[in-house]
């Protein structure tokens, strides 16, 4: 059991590292290609927000590399310094993508609303599930109570898995909104649009890997639990 868990974890860790490497490579590559519009990431974000009738969201700079995110509570589009100040394809793609989340929020996009509702319970399940599952596996041979512990851990882990799955349409939709807006406003040429799309594709793949990894691990835990019940 332990070997199986370690094998699955290492496999998806390796895949995740490969995708992250490619993502960073793409953003570094496109970060060297200036956009024809000459607008910074901050200016791109502010324009997209205005074009969508959003005036209560602030665009701010934050520390970190690819630390960009939208905060629905504070209503801020948080851009890393390279994106905030950058006047390149990577900066434009990321800034527009994060504003895509702001547009989702403003229009009450159903999957974003569901994801937001899952956040509090997901924070709890992520913290507790692995410890409870390990406890259940650790005492598997000491009676039925251990199976109950394992089941509780699996149910908690299922919440985390659901969150990773719900995240997928949220991220893909934000990118679609960003690319459609960039194309519609003529802020990106066809070549720039294709490169922005490529960059966002690799960003989305990080979420795909996380979701598939979580589903695979959940399936393995369920298999262990089901096998134990048949014994």
**What six digits make up the tokens of 77?**
């589009």
Clarify whether 98 is annotated catalytic.
Answer: yes
Q: How far apart are the C-alpha atoms of 97 and 55, rounded to whole Å?
A: 17
Query: Annotated catalytic residue: which of 43, 46, 98, 171?
Result: 98
Q: How far apart are the C-alpha atoms of 204 and 202, rounded to whole Å?
A: 5
The dihedrals phi and psi of 207, each to the nearest 5 degrees, come to: -75, -35
Q: What is the dihedral of CA 14, 155, 101, 207, to 10 degrees?
A: 10
Q: What is the CA radius of gyration of the chain?
A: 21
**Which residues have a Cβ under 8 Å from the Cβ of 100 and sit 6 or more positions away?**
173, 174, 175, 176, 177, 178, 181
Numbers of helices and strands, H then E, in the chain? 7, 3
Q: How far apart are the C-alpha atoms of 81 and 143, rounded to whole Å?
A: 55
CA distances from 4 to 9, 127, 130, 146, 164 (A): 9, 22, 15, 19, 22
Q: How far apart are the C-alpha atoms of 12 and 16, rounded to whole Å?
A: 6
Residues serving a catalytic function are 98
């Amino acid at each position: 059991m332990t070997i199986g868990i370690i094998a699955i974890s290492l496999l998806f860790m390796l895949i995740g590292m490969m995708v992250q490497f490619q993502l960073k490579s793409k953003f570094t590559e496109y970060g060297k290609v200036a956009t024809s519009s000459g607008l910074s990431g901050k200016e791109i974000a502010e324009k997209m927000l205005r074009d969508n009738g959003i005036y209560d969201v602030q665009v701010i700079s934050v520390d970190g590399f690819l630390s960009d995110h939208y905060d629905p509570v504070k209503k801020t589009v948080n851009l890393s310094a390279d994106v905030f100040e950058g006047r390149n394809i990577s900066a434009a793609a990321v800034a527009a993508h994060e504003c895509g989340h702001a547009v989702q929020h403003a229009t009450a996009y159903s999957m974003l609303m569901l994801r937001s509702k899952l956040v509090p319970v997901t924070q709890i399940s992520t913290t507790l599930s692995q410890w409870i599952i390990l406890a259940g596996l650790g005492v598997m041979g000491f009676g039925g109570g251990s199976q109950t512990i394992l089941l509780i851990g699996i149910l908690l882990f299922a919440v985390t898995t659901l969150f990773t799955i719900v995240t997928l349409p949220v991220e893909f939709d934000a990118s679609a909104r960003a690319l459609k807006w960039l194309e519609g406003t003529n802020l990106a040429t066809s070549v720039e649009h294709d490169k922005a799309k490529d960059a966002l594709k690799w960003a989305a793949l990080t979420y795909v890997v996380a979701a598939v990894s979580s589903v695979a691990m959940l399936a393995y835990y369920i298999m262990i639990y089901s096998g134990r019940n048949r014994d």
